[in-house]
Every structure is written in structure tokens, then in C-alpha cells.
Structure 1
């Protein structure tokens, strides 16, 4: 080899080393840059992760809420059936109490409210009620009977007019005795033309009318039909518990006792079976025997003597 060739080879090797070195440096740079870029994107992912953490946090929040709700539901479901039933009954009772403050149920069971609503009937209103009763009586096909009755009180029993109003409406209701051909007109005792007298009496006076009358209930003696003041104010526990109302009890008491005046006797028609309407002449104040409260004569009771 010529002496001047060695430097050329050395130069070549140096250049080659430089090229490879630069390439290596470039590779390192690229790797570093790539890592750097990856780090940037990684940090971007972390930011997204924070959002995810927030979402996860929200999810955890929902999870806790769900867990709490589930626990609450679990607590409810852990109650015995009778406990849940008691809660339901209590809720229903509370709802009923609220409704009663403004609705019909309380008005029908409150003696003072019933008396206040009754007031005094005008002659015009009496005429309308009587006309409907007469039409029902005529349509019944039964022998027509027109009875005049007088109204009286004994003892401290409140206003006579409110009692008279409720009695007149009950007796001439088209669901009642008019279906047996009977209508009723309120007369004046001073005229002496009363077929019977309807009396609202303090309970303590009932036995004075007859030994068979009790201070616990209403009674009929001859032409005196006596309504017990205590029952007029409260009805009976069994009647109300069976679903009756005080308004209906008053109608039943008047129609039942006047039924005696028409010739009917107590318990002439027994209860027809559980859930069936009681006969009007059944002694419903003393017990319903499985029947339901009823203030109007049954079809089988539409007769008079």
C-alpha cells in the first residue's frame, strides 16, 4: 500500500464513526423526544383521569346514595308483615283523619255537624220531599197509607227543629217506607190529630215509658215512638265498626222504631248471611250477626198492618 493511502482510510473510518455516532445520537434524541411526547400524552391522560376520577367520585356518590337507599329499603323489608300492615293502617287512618277534617266522612259521624246541616225545613222543601214520597208510594203498588205524626222532646236533648228535620227526611225518603205505600206528614200536637208521636228523649227516661224499654236503646210503646238521645248522639260501636255512619244510624233508628208502629216486630227477618244487608227490623244496635248496616226496609219488609 502507498504511504498516502493510510490517511484516506483513517479519514474514512473517522467519517464512518462520525456517521454512526450521529446516527446513534439521533436515535437517542428520537427516543428521548418520543418519551417526552409520550409523557406529555400521559399527562393529558392523567387530566382525563381526573375527570374520570370526578366521574368516579360521582359514581361513588351515586353508589353511596344507592347503598343508603338500599339500606333504607332493606330496613323496610326487614319489618314483619304485621308491622308493615300496621304502618299501612296507621297511614290510612291518618289520611282518613285528614279527609275527615274537610270531607263527608266526619260530617256524617259528627252529631253537631249533622244537627247544624239539618237546620229547619221550609214548607216548600217539605212539600218537595213529600211529593217524591207520594210518587214512590203510588208506584209501589201497595195500599196507600198516610200517617200524621207529631214531634216532641223529653229532657235536655237539644233543638227540636233539627230532630224534626232529620226524622221527616228519613221517613219520607224514597228508599224507605214509601216503598211500602206509606207517607208521613208532620202535624201539630195542639190539633190532636197525631197518629203517633215521635219523641227524642234523654236515655234515663226510657224505662219510664215501659218496663220493657231500656236506657241503652230506643223504644216504641203504643203510639209513642221514643228515640234514645244517647244513641242519637253516638250510635253504637258495633254499627260504626261495621261501616255504618251516625247519619245512617239515625235514619235506621227512626225507620226501625216507626216500623213497629206499622206492625213489624224485632228480628222478624234474620240476617240472610255474612255480607248481606241487615233487615231493617233486625235489632242492629245490638248486633249485626255478620250482616252489613242497613237503614231501609228490605223488599221482604214492604208491608204494613
Structure 2
């Protein structure tokens, strides 16, 4: 069985093999997982040093940070000859939406209601744009022109359609609570409409990638502080990538043996095991204009149901 250090090396090699290398995505992961809980701003040089062991050089970091700034994810400030970057207002809102899924896997109880959107009377030029927005909001297509969502309510759906200027062309309905909440035909429909088989394969790949590290940590758990930071960053990076595909359906509508549950538990277990050593590494290697980054705020310790 490989050691924990060898597992981290394998994770780095796996990240480097992908083309194109998702430097911008990894930087957002570092900000969301590491920098936001510690005040949100960091010196660009510190960021480059953090990512160097993953095979990302300073030039690539600078190029990616510049692109993220143009895309309004980041905002920069010059202090003397040094540049410091933090998440922008829009970037922070996107971060909160995306990372909430990562750290808080518990779903609220489902009422059994559905929001339905019918596009059957919509003019063709608008239809594709609205379909794309409904897809982004995790609606599933039950039939041609009929889209459904189990947790987004009618008011939220209408607000999204209004932003697209399409509220007057769509029919938005809310069903009553049904009994049983999830009959066999409904579960089969959900499986097809949200392509749960493909999503399950993505979760299975995550499990295959990180289970060796968890087994190794249970055997010897001698990872150094920098290795813990790298492992934690790549863990959240990979888990976040799958979460972005996940419509976050109520538990009642998911298969009994759902890979997403196992993936969340594995991510939580590894994170809880290595986060403290990663934090000690960050204490010594991240800088703001005022000096070292402050300690993480209270919300950091609420991740994954509570960190020790």
C-alpha cells in the first residue's frame, strides 16, 4: 500500500496531467478554502509560493490572477511594490454559493412540492437562453418544454425568468405535496432527467482518487504540514468540481446507494484529519500588507459539521 506522501505525489501528478491545467480554478479553491476565512487578502508572492509545489510557476499564477481580476472574481491593491488580491464583491457571492455545497452536505427536509416551468408557448429565439438558465439553476427536463425543480420555489423561478426578460412567455406552476414523496416512477424520471448515472460516475472517480490517501492516513498519518496543505487543496478542488455538476436533489429522490453520500463522508474525513497541519503551514507562509494572515474566523470551524 502506498504511503500518505506517495498518495499526495500521485494527486499532484494527476492534477498536472490534465489539459488545460485549471490554474484559475485552483486559485479560487485556495481563496475559498484558505484565504477567505483568514481575512480574504493575500500577497501575490505568497500565493505563488503556495502553488509552486503543485507545478504552477509564478508566471502562470500572475497570468491567471490577471484573468480572474478581469472576470471580476478578484480585485487587487498595490502597496509599495507589492500587489495584494482578494475576492471581489461578485467573486465572494459566487464563492459563497459554490462552497456552501462543499462544506455543508446536509439537505433541508423536502416538502414534496415541485416547481414546474413550461416553455411550450415561448418564442424560439428566447427558448435556448432560458433552457440554459434553467439548467444552471439545476432544473431537470421532464418532457419537451417541461422543466421541474424539487426545492426552488415558484417565486425564485419567476425572479430568474424576469432577469432574462422571459417571465411573460413562460408558465410557472407549483405542485402540492404528493404522497408518497418519491414513488418508483418518479425516482426513475429523476434519474433520467438529471442524468444521475453520469453524476455517479464523477463521484466514483473522486472516491477512487482519494480513498488510497484515506487508507494511508489511517495506517501512518505522518504527512508534513506542506503536504497536508497540498492534499487539502486538491481534495477541495476535486470535490468542488463534482459538486458543481450536482443539482443537490432531496435525499428522497436519490438512489439508495448514492455515491455522493460516500464522497461527502470521505472528503469530510480527510479534511478533518489534515486541516490543522495545513493551517500551521499557512500561518508561516501567507502575508498581507500588515504581516501574517489572521487566524481563521469562527465560521471556518463549522465546516463539515464541526472541526476539532
If you compute each CA radius of gyration, which structure gives the higher value, 1 or 2?
A: 1
Q: Do both share a fold (TM > 0.5)?
A: no
State the TM-score bracket (shorter-chain normalisation).
under 0.3
Q: Which has the higher contact order (CA 8 A, sep 6+)?
A: 2
